[in-house]
Structure 1
Amino acid sequence: MLLDFIKKYWYRYLTGILTLIVVDLLQLYIPRFIGRVVDHLRSEQPTMGFVTVMVSWIVGIALAIAIMRFFWRYFIIGNARRFEYLARKTLFDKLLSLSPGYFDRTRSGDLMARFTNDLQAVRMALAQGVVMTVDATFMAIMTVLFMGRTVSWKLTWLASIPLPALALVALFFGRIIHNRFMEVQNQFSAVSELTEETISGIRIVKSFAADEKFWEMFRDRSWNNYRAGISLAKVSSVFFPLMIFLASLAHAFALFFGGPMVVRSEVSLGEFIAFNSYLGMLTWPMMALGWVLNVIQSGRASYKRIMQVMKEMPQVEEPKNPVKIDRIETISFVDLTYRYPSSQRDVLKCVSFSIKKGEMVGIVGTVGSGKSTIVKLLAKLYPVERGKIFINDVDINDIASENIRSLIAFVPQESFLFSDQIKKNIAFAQEDIDMERVIECAKLAAVHDEIVKFPEGYDTVVGERGVTLSGGQRQRVTIARALYENKDVLVFDDCLSAVDPETEEKIIDSLRSQFKQKTMIIITHRLKVLRDADLIIVLDNGVIVEKGTHEELMNLDGLYARMFKRQMIEEELEA
């Protein structure tokens, strides 16, 4: 990612670096002019004309430096900002390309830390890091040359004795800073994770009176973050004062050896003043070396964390030459045994069944029997081996995920709404909203009457994750969202658990009568709504133990019949 960016925008960095070098070069002439002014004023016949010319040169150089500093900042720091923008966009694109399995094992707080702190650290390395590296390297070399050629090589070497120690100290502390900064970022991610989860689940936290417990967890993680930060600060607290001490020794050496040279007239007073100005310029690059290493090491650590995400590969591999399908006529599962990539347990075992266009299929069974896994695999959310799932007699692995999902409306168990207007949640990801279609879908989902009672109706903005709506309202809005795009297959994964049985039955019946040509797959615990289903699949511990119509399964008097009879008794008792 970084190399590709540099290859594409190298000319911006080159322009900025050349401008920075010119600025540094111009700065080197100012002490020389000052030294000449001092020596001229000590001459037998000083004139204001000479001083005026020198001052004019200094002012002109200062003005040129001010203008050119704008340009190197524009090109170098602006380029770093461009990288931050492109990297954030690339990272977001990468996250969208990853399979749900990645997010099953990765906390969103950690990802947010990489989007914020880590990207900022990389940007600093590409901006200030580049500036200081070029500045320190060029200034160090050119300052030594100016000191030696315009003043004295002997005094230059003597005053520079402490400076190599600066480089050694910087190299010694560099790796320590890198490791401790990595720990700081990891601890920051841990704090971000807990904060994000607590805010998202604040209603659960409060309903269980778990405020104190979460406060203790946050306190512990914050303390770990503090300790990691203090650990890094301790290194910096030793590092930078030591650098300043060694830099000050250079001035002490200059005074100790240079003073007598001025007395002996080996060096003029003006040259000695210029030399000390140059020494100050040379001290800065040596000190900057430590700061640069700190920034670069921090950026390198953060870049590693970002690349960990970029190197992740989607679990679901897309076909190189995908087969394009325009509609879904048949769906077939053939002897499918499946376990999730991170699990050692078979969720489904030897599952086989077929669905034809226009059929209503119910999937029921015991808790954890693999019902949801079937529809997740059908939507190609997780990888599956070849020869197990077919759509229109084409292996699902030969069809692009986007193609499949464009034909399947999938309503998951979790009703997730975005913090936006209800109409925009129903017409999700659509630029132009057809309000007639929105209202029609809301009516089919039996939520229209409740929406129009809100003060702002369909313009009502729901809270984060739709928390301002009731559970049943959220579920029905998500169903309306699935219906809006008019897809071939409608999959309802236990998405009406929060509404009463009568409303669920009403919704299913209206959808069945309205979309007779569409295939419907319904996962539910309320078996009453499946009495008119063309096929009911009964799962137990990942195995299909029964399948058939409602009447056929009742005649078998097996698991389905027992579950159905128990529910009817419960309804009678409630009535």
Structure 2
Amino acid sequence: MKELKYINKYFKKYKAKLLIGIIITIIARIFSLVMPPYISKSIATVEQFLKAENPDKDALQSTLLTYILIIIGSALLSAFFTFLMRQTIINISRYIEYDLKNEIFRHYENLSLNFYKKNRTGDLMNRISEDVNQVRMYAGPAVMYSIQTFTLFVCVVPIMFYKSPTMAFYCLVPLPFLSFLIYRISKIIHKKSTVVQQYLSTLSTFSQETFSGIFVIKAYGIEPRINRESEILAEDGRQKSMDLARVEAWFMPLMTLLIGISSTIAIYIGGKQYIDGEIATVGIIAEFIIYIAMLTWPVAIVGWVTSTVQRAEASQKRINEFLNTEPQIRNTVSAHTPVRGKVEFRNVTFTYEDTNITALKNLSFTLNHGETLAIIGKTGSGKSTILDLIGRLYDVTEGEIRIDDTPLEQLNLYDLRKAIGAVPQEAFLFSDSIKNNIKFGKSDATDQEIIEAAKRAEVHKNIVKFTKKYDTVLGERGITLSGGQKQRVSIARALIKDPEIYLFDDCLSAVDTETEEKILKNLHKASRQKTTIIVSHRISSARNADKIIILENGTVAQQGTHNQLINTEGHYKDLYLSQLSEKEM
């Protein structure tokens, strides 16, 4: 139960409803206890009628009718309160499931990029779905059945010993053995269910990666290989699930065995006592058989509850592993810190934790508010890392980044990111309409603002050709659109936000030269009085920048304006001449 202590705070949150549920459970069990004595009384009444010299048939019918109505009435009331019990306690488990999923999701959002590099998407999904569901079973059914079991034992066992101590003793002897056996089975179930949960994470990861990479699978014609891997994975899962099912299959046979043994004991001991005159009526035997039936499920449920708790423990442990992971990037400032846009790097060095690659080495530059900086360099030179550090997706290893002369860590993280309009190198669009994808930049944007942003991103003409225009729903990751269209929708998303800082990470790589020039003109108009950083491999994207930096292996190899750099020997001039000759050709 150690790991499950985490959700005690939710039980406290819903303690009023839980208390009502407990009271209703007790009432439901009390009404169910009305039936056995009246069955015994009914049999005793019939016995007296048969033994009487002058039996009164009308009196017998009247008495039996009264008892039958009491039995039916108590059964109906028990059923009604049982329904209320489930509505109360099971609903609490759904509330806890809702709260826990939201907590996990919020924590996922706060965790740094390094966390997502180390963990697979399928595993993350499984923990917030399958694992949370196992915890819900503990918070609902397990709690409900535990209360039921406790109430029944407290009420039924004393009644049985009051009616016939000898019969009660012999009838209850098999129960501890059954409970012990089910407990042992539950320990095995715990181990096997943990293995099954881990397998489900692996299956979710495999499925997610297969669906996301279906284009590559088809392009390379490796469907047979993926099918074989899927079959191997499915067979492995089948074996694990069957191992678990074989163990769980012992539950019902053991219950049936208990009912048979205890009922046989009740009939034998009860019959012997009746013959010896130790009990007054055969009805006591029938009453005991009903009590045994009432206690059998609670005894078996002890094992089921144990199994459920152990499954929930295993699942909550997996959940806690993530919930106990501290976000590397924390918002340390609660007050609002407005951002204007001056950016300064002071001897910044950054090493990626997962690969131990040093992307930036002692990098320094200053970009004043309203200026445009272009960053050019070969693949792996650290261009994208600069943008990630400005958005504080990572914290620097050494040195300092300042925004408006304030260290980055001393700015409100949410204010900082609200002031940034970022267009990543790999455009990511959600499985939603084009309109809503653009509105991610500004949730309350009007249709006119959306159209205007799309026009400035030179994608409006493409959108209006679609059947549903801006209401066209995109496939996963925006697969409905071409690479260039996805990039331009991402640019429209950034433009509609109208931030103080624009970060464009090689976001025109899939766009033709003519369209690029139009977009750059529009970006130049939109980014007036805005700080803009453009990462690109094209000179055309950099030539109008106020400052240009050439990166090589994380350090500044060249810097200056376009005119200065084309008149200086180096990578920029070589790239300029190369792209100029390509354009002329």
* Equivalence map 1:431-450=2 (5 Å): 431-450=443-462
Cα distance in 1 for partners of 2:414, 2:517 equals 31
| Residue of structure 2 aligned with 1:67, choices 71, 75, 80 | 80
Cα distance in 1 for partners of 2:532, 2:442 equals 24
CA contact (8 A) 1:332 1:389 kept: yes
Q: CA deviation at 1:239?
A: 4.6
| Residue of structure 2 aligned with 1:96, choices 109, 132, 135 | 109
Q: CA deviation at 1:90?
A: 2.1
| Residue of structure 2 aligned with 1:5, choices 3, 10, 13 | 10
Which residue does 1:346 correspond to in 2?
A: 358
Deviations 1:409-466 (A, max 9, x none): 0000111112222222212264433222222221221112222222332222222221
SS at 1:556 equivalent? coil
Which residue does 1:158 correspond to in 2?
A: 170
Does residue 25 (structure 1) correspond to residue 30 (structure 2)? The answer is yes
Deviations 1:242-288 (A, max 9, x none): 34424432223323333222222222211111111112212221112
CA contact (8 A) 2:349 2:396 kept: no
Cα distance in 2 for partners of 1:19, 1:447 equals 62
Cα distance in 2 for partners of 1:323, 1:139 equals 58
CA contact (8 A) 1:177 1:232 kept: yes
Does residue 289 (structure 1) correspond to residue 302 (structure 2)? The answer is yes
Does residue 16 (structure 1) correspond to residue 21 (structure 2)? The answer is yes
Cα distance in 2 for partners of 1:326, 1:350 equals 25
CA contact (8 A) 2:549 2:556 kept: yes
Amino acid at match of 2:451: I
Cα distance in 2 for partners of 1:254, 1:318 equals 68
CA contact (8 A) 1:240 1:290 kept: no
Amino acid at match of 1:60: G
Amino acid at match of 2:551: L
| Residue of structure 2 aligned with 1:312, choices 306, 325, 344 | 325
SS at 1:266 equivalent? coil
Residues 372-381 or 169-178, more deviating: 169-178
CA contact (8 A) 1:155 1:258 kept: yes
CA contact (8 A) 1:166 1:247 kept: no
Cα distance in 2 for partners of 1:40, 1:375 equals 89
| Residue of structure 2 aligned with 1:253, choices 242, 256, 265 | 265
Which residue does 1:35 correspond to in 2?
A: 40
Which residue does 1:138 correspond to in 2?
A: 151
Unaligned runs of 5+ in 2: 1-5
Which residue does 1:530 correspond to in 2?
A: 542
* Equivalence map 1:130-529=2 (5 Å): 130-150=143-163, 152-267=164-279, 268-322=281-335, 324-328=337-341, 330-384=342-396, 388-428=400-440, 430-529=442-541
Coordinate RMSD, CA, aligned: 1.9
Amino acid at match of 1:534: D
Which residue does 2:69 correspond to in 1?
A: 56
Residues 171 and 309 of structure 1: is their aligned pair in 2 closer, same or farther, counting only changes over 3 Å?
same
Q: CA deviation at 1:550?
A: 2.0
CA contact (8 A) 2:502 2:527 kept: no
Residues 429 and 352 of structure 1: is their aligned pair in 2 closer, same or farther, counting only changes over 3 Å?
closer
CA contact (8 A) 2:349 2:398 kept: no
SS at 2:557 equivalent? strand
After TM superposition, the score normalised by the length of structure 2 is: 0.93
SS at 1:521 equivalent? strand
Cα distance in 1 for partners of 2:139, 2:456 equals 55
CA contact (8 A) 1:336 1:351 kept: yes
Amino acid at match of 1:48: Q
CA contact (8 A) 1:162 1:247 kept: no
Identity within the alignment, %: 36
Amino acid at match of 1:31: P
After TM superposition, the score normalised by the length of structure 1 is: 0.95
Amino acid at match of 1:517: Q
CA contact (8 A) 2:362 2:399 kept: no
Q: CA deviation at 1:509?
A: 2.7
Residues 276 and 28 of structure 1: is their aligned pair in 2 closer, same or farther, counting only changes over 3 Å?
same
Q: CA deviation at 1:22?
A: 1.6
Residues 411 and 547 of structure 1: is their aligned pair in 2 closer, same or farther, counting only changes over 3 Å?
same
SS at 1:384 equivalent? coil
Q: CA deviation at 1:167?
A: 1.9
Residues 555-564 or 343-352, more deviating: 555-564
Deviations 1:338-369 (A, max 9, x none): 11232322111111111011211111111111
| Residue of structure 1 aligned with 2:578, choices 562, 566, 573 | 566
Residues 57-66 or 254-263, more deviating: 254-263
Does residue 107 (structure 1) correspond to residue 120 (structure 2)? The answer is yes
Deviations 1:139-182 (A, max 9, x none): 123221111102x1111112222211122112222222122111
Q: CA deviation at 1:476?
A: 0.5
SS at 1:259 equivalent? helix
Q: CA deviation at 1:473?
A: 0.7
Which residue does 1:550 correspond to in 2?
A: 562
Residues 9-18 or 288-297, more deviating: 288-297
Q: CA deviation at 1:207?
A: 1.6
SS at 2:332 equivalent? coil
Amino acid at match of 1:21: I
Residues 2-11 or 216-225, more deviating: 216-225
Deviations 1:203-252 (A, max 9, x none): 22212212122222222222222222112112212354334424432223
SS at 1:388 equivalent? strand
Q: CA deviation at 1:321?
A: 4.8
Amino acid at match of 1:84: E
Residues 93-102 or 227-236, more deviating: 93-102
Residues 507-516 or 481-490, more deviating: 507-516
Q: CA deviation at 1:398?
A: 0.6
CA contact (8 A) 2:487 2:507 kept: yes
Amino acid at match of 1:83: I
Residues 236-245 or 124-133, more deviating: 236-245
Amino acid at match of 1:279: I
SS at 1:60 equivalent? helix
Which residue does 2:3 correspond to in 1?
A: none
Cα distance in 1 for partners of 2:115, 2:77 equals 53
Cα distance in 1 for partners of 2:40, 2:525 equals 96
Q: CA deviation at 1:556?
A: 3.0
Q: CA deviation at 1:132?
A: 1.2
Unaligned runs of 5+ in 1: none
> Across the two proteins, how many residue pairs are aligned to each other?
571
Residues 120-129 or 239-248, more deviating: 239-248
Amino acid at match of 1:381: L
CA contact (8 A) 1:336 1:388 kept: yes
CA contact (8 A) 2:255 2:297 kept: no
